[in-house]
Amino acid sequence: MQDMAGKTVVITGASRGIGAATARLFASKGANVALLARSTGDIEGLAAEIGPQALALGCDVSRFADIEHAIAQTRARFAAVDILINNAGVIEPITHLANADPVAWAKAIEINLTGVFNGVRAVLPAMRDAGQGTIITVSSGAAHNPIEAWSSYCSSKAGAAMLTRCAHLENAARGLRIMGLSPGTVATQMQRDIKTSGINPVSQLDWEVHVPAEWPAEALAWMCSADADAWLGEEISLRDEAIRARIGLS
């Protein structure tokens, strides 16, 4: 995997799971990492663990002012933003449409879809001016398949997948690298919440079938390299055995 020394990576939803694993991996490869999350205590602890190349920034991605401020703070500390990982997301509310709370349903859209837009919008102008930059959005198989009681999650992830394609269409000619990663089911707190719900076949999966958070982290690092350029504008699935082999996962 390529050396990331001197690169600056912004990771949303960095407090745990895929986000935290990605922060640790990118930092180990020499990158500066800006850790964005609502739970400031968790990201401050992670930043202390990583060291001076990490910056913890409290941020609600559903509010553009929050993420715009976080990007400005990252640039003030590290001079530029080279990579944005749109990872923040929520599975709740897990509920049938007939019983869905409209406020909770809309909040999931604000985080999972508008949050991705806010991140992209905050970094695009400077990346376009620089003629370089990588934006990767963590997607899901739920973006392409309806799942019982996951209407807000499926709808928001489908929207984010299309947003990724639009961003690529508008910015590839400017030298930007934009794509998505569908990581499959990952052994994180989200899967524990899904298991607790007891609704739909995903909640019935054995814990052993979920991949560790380090796998999508490795995939995200690989996607920042030229070796992944053939997939620009597309969504890579970590369920694809050929992709796993190319990354070196087994």
* Residue 47 amino acid letter: A
Catalytic one of 26, 117, 150, 153? 153
Q: What is the 3-class SS of the chain, one letter each residue?
A: CCCCCCCEEEEECCCCHHHHHHHHHHHHCCCEEEEEECCHHHHHHHHHHHCCCEEEEECCCCCHHHHHHHHHHHHHHHCCCCEEEECCCCCCCCECHHHCCHHHHHHHHHHHHHHHHHHHHHHHHHHHHHCCEEEEEECCHHHCCCCCCEHHHHHHHHHHHHHHHHHHHHHHHHCEEEEEEECCCECCHHHHHHHHHCCCHHHHCCHHHCECCHHHHHHHHHHCCHHHHHHCCCEEECCCHHHHHHHCCC
Tell me how far apart the alpha carbons of residues 229 and 232 are, in angstroms, rounded to a whole number. 5
For this structure, is 153 an active site residue?
yes
In DSSP terms, 83 is beta-bridged to 9, 134
**Residues 190, 29, 86, 39: what is their CA dihedral angle, to the nearest 10 degrees?**
60
Tell me the backbone φ, ψ of residue 67, rounded to 5 degrees. -75, -35
Catalytic residues: 153
